[in-house]
């Protein structure tokens, strides 16, 4: 089966600019996650969707980050305005059952550099 | 929410060595744990699940000690290809999302 697709692979922006990332999960996977991974750290959960509804966005900095999953398939994560500390890899993952480690599949990630 | 804690390393070992990683967790009610592997500039991939009874997959053995609240990963007969970051992972309270530790870096040399 096709994996989780993410784009772009790399993005460089100046602080205070806005940026958007796109994720297409594995077909049939109801649960979609966005993680932020800062260099030298483990992935940090930003938001979890079940179909097109938000399950958990408690760690999403809502003053600047937003995410949506219209129609319960593709998802976009937006940062506006970006700060230097947002430099990280943004990983999208999907799961068929949403029960944790049964089959999380990650995309290759989008590497964001804010200068 | 406090994440699982791991020794970041790096662990530098020769080929053929046995190496063990531990991580500790703070929520005694946590039910599910995993080890993920992440190669440099790649995405994390599931290595194995962790059970109280132990879980062995070839050269890899994972163990959960609920009394002491730690998870371990043992790698026997290390290969160069084992060089990676190993992430200790805990499922959240609802069991619907994964909480990752900071990772332990392993470097196997010839």
Q: Retrieve residue A86's tokens.
A: 């947002």
Structure tokens at A74: 């593709």
Q: Give the whole-angstrom CA distance, residue B102 versus residue A21.
A: 24
Closest chain A C-alpha to B42 CA, distance in angstroms: 6
Q: pLDDT (tens digit, 0 to 9) for every residue of chain A, 115 residues total?
A: 689 999 999 999 999 999 999 999 999 899 999 999 999 999 999 999 998 899 999 999 999 999 999 888 999 999 999 999 999 999 999 998 776 666 689 999 999 999 9
Chain B CB within 8 Å of residue A25 CB: no
With contacts defined as CB-CB under 8 Å, which chain B residues touch A109? Answer: 43
Residue B48 β-bridge partners: B35
User: Which tens digit of pLDDT belongs to each residue from B98-109?
Assistant: 899 999 999 999
Residue of B nearest to A30 (CA): B96
pLDDT digits (tens, 9 = 90+) for B2-34: 779 998 889 999 999 999 999 999 988 888 899
Nearest to B97 among A33, A40, A42 (CB): A33
**Chain CA centroid to CA B7, Å:** 10
In whole angstroms, what is the distance from residue A70 CA to residue A32 CA?
12
Q: Does A98 touch chain B (CB under 8 A)?
A: yes
């Amino acid at each position: 089966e096709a994996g989780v697709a993410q784009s772009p692979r790399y993005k460089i922006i100046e602080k205070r600019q806005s940026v958007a990332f796109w994720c297409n999960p594995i077909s049939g996977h109801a649960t979609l996650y966005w993680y932020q991974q800062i260099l030298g750290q483990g992935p940090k959960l930003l938001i979890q969707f079940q179909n097109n509804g938000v399950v958990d966005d408690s760690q999403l900095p809502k003053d600047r980050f937003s995410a949506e999953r219209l129609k319960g398939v593709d998802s976009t994560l937006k940062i506006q305005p970006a700060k230097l500390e947002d430099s990280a890899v943004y990983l999208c993952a999907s799961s068929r059952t949403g029960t944790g480690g049964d089959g999380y599949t990650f995309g290759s990630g989008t590497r964001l550099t804010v200068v | 929410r406090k994440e699982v804690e791991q020794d970041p390393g790096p662990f530098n070992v020769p080929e053929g060595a046995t190496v063990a990683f531990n991580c500790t967790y703070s929520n005694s009610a946590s039910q599910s744990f995993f080890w993920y592997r992440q190669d440099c500039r790649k995405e994390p991939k599931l290595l194995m699940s962790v059970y109280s009874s132990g879980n062995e997959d070839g050269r890899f053995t994972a163990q959960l000690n609920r009394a002491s609240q730690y998870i371990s990963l043992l790698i026997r007969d290390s290969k160069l290809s084992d060089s990676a970051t190993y992430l200790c992972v805990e499922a959240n309270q609802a069991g619907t999302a994964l909480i990752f530790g900071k990772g332990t870096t392993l470097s196997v040399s010839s």
